[in-house]
Every structure is written in structure tokens, then in C-alpha cells.
Amino acid sequence: MFELNCHGVIPGCDRVIRAESQAEVFRRAVQQAHQSGVEKLTPNLIDQLRDKTTELPN
């Protein structure tokens, strides 16, 4: 299970995204960013999404 706390990464997002794969967390985070008004994902934002995604212990 992987997790991303959007707070401080995606402007205006206080959601915690969890999914079975890192790719699914990233997909959901991109969708959340668009819903939060982020029109273009910058390389910096993409790096932050990757860096802040963590694998939870079993």
C-alpha cells in the first residue's frame, strides 16, 4: 500500500491518497491536482508528488 498526503504538495488539497500501487497514487494525485485548479503539472510538482509518496508497512 502506498500513500501521499497532498497537504503542502497540491495547493488547496488536504486529502490523503492511498492505493495498492505507486502508479495508482500518482494517477489519483494528478486527477486531484486538476480538480484543485492546477492546469499544468510542472516538473517540480511531479518531483514533489514522487518524493512525498511513501510505502506503508504491511
pLDDT in tens, 14-55: 999 999 999 999 999 999 999 999 989 999 999 999 999 999
Per-residue model confidence (pLDDT) at position 50: 92
CB 32 within 8 A of CB 10: yes
pLDDT of 11 over the 90 cut: no
Per-residue model confidence (pLDDT) at position 1: 97
**pTM > 0.85: yes or no:** yes
CB 35 within 8 A of CB 6: no
Domain residues of the chain, as ranges?
A: 2-55
Per-residue model confidence (pLDDT) at position 19: 97
In angstroms, rounded to a whole number, what is the distance separating the alpha carbons of residues 22 and 48? 14
Which positions ≥6 away from 14 have C-beta within 8 Å?
A: 6, 7
